[in-house]
Chain A
Amino acid sequence: GAGVSQSPSNKVTEKGKDVELRCDPISGHTALYWYRQSLGQGLEFLIYFQGNSAPDKSGLPSDRFSAERTGGSVSTLTIQRTQQEDSAVYLCASSFDRANRQFFGPGTRLTVL
């Protein structure tokens, strides 16, 4: 079966531009997560979606970051007015429920010039 997929795999953008990162979770998984992996910072939780419940956005670093999940499946993470400190690998994970066996995608490597 297919795992979590993310696109694009790499994204280079200029400071101030907006970017959209996409995540396709494993079929049947109701929970979806976004994490950010930066050099020296490790993996940081960003946002969590579970079914039709309100998402937990407590990990989003600023109001430039937003995410949505349409139809309980695909999710898009949007970063507006990108800054150089946004450069990182953005990882998406999904799980069958809110339990903790989270399965990660390959990530999107974002570089802000």
Chain B
Amino acid sequence: QKEVEQDPGPLSVPEGAIVSLNCTYSNSAFQYFMWYRQYSRKGPELLMYTYSSGNKEDGRFTAQVDKSSKYISLFIRDSQPSDSATYLCAMSAGSGGSNYKLTFGKGTLLTVNP
């Protein structure tokens, strides 16, 4: 079992739809959770960064972490064609040790159709 599982999609939605992207993980030591957006042939761009469980909202984006279920989500409201990209979840352990090592999901390819 891989440490981080992410459905690769592809996911295709109409403009304006609410998008839900998810990852599951197996390592209970993970404390930091991130979502990156990667456009084709570009580097990953940090979208959301959360610590431990709970919700975090930034504009049209909401990140949720449920540590009891080892499940994280990214919601995109009022999706736009410019949101079309690959979304990568990433996570790392808490303080100490190798907490700088990010473990990534394989990414979900999202297309928002105008």
Contacts and interface: CB of A to CB of B under 8 A. Distances in A.
B101 interface: yes
A48 B101 CA distance: 8
Contacts, number: 57
Given A42-B106, A43-B88, A43-B104, A105 B43 contact: yes
Which interface class (under 10, 10 to 19, 20 to 34, 35 or more) fits B?
20 to 34
A21 interface: no
Interface residues of A, number: 27
Contact of A43 (B44, B49, B92, B98): B44
B102 interface: yes
A48 B100 contact: yes
Interface of A: 4, 31, 33, 35, 40-43, 45, 48, 50, 56, 58-59, 91, 95, 98-107, 109
Interface of B: 32, 34, 36, 41-46, 49, 88, 90, 92, 98-107
